[in-house]
């Protein structure tokens, strides 16, 4: 799991369904990628744009 991504998602009230749809993927795939820390570069850049945060911040582990 990516704690900063989770925080930003919750802060904005975005559900996994909402984010998955914005990324063009099934919610199960989005949840699996978050849980296993295998978010791809395309998704990482899209999420950084969505949350107006750097990829370094969103995907930092152990914060």
Tokens 């704690």 belong to residue = 3
- Which pLDDT belongs to residue 49? 97
Distance CA 55, CA 53 (A): 7
**Pairwise CA distance, residues 20 & 55, whole Å:** 17
Number of domains in the chain: 1
Res 24: pLDDT? 97
Asked whether residue 63 is assigned to any structural domain, the reply reads: no
- The answer to whether 47 and 58 are in contact (CB under 8 A) is yes
Residue 62 has pLDDT above 80, yes or no: no
Query: What is the span of the domain harbouring residue 28?
Result: 3-58
21 has pLDDT over 80: yes
Residue 49 lies in a domain: yes
Instruction: Pick 62 or 41 by higher pLDDT.
Output: 41
pTM: 0.89
Which pLDDT value is given to residue 51?
A: 97
């Amino acid at each position: 799991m990516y704690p900063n991504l989770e925080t930003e998602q919750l802060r904005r009230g975005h559900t996994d369904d909402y984010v998955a749809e914005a990324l063009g993927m099934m919610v199960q795939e989005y949840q699996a990628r978050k849980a296993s820390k295998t978010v791809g570069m395309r998704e990482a850049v899209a999420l950084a744009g969505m949350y107006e945060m750097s990829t370094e911040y969103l995907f930092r582990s152990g914060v």
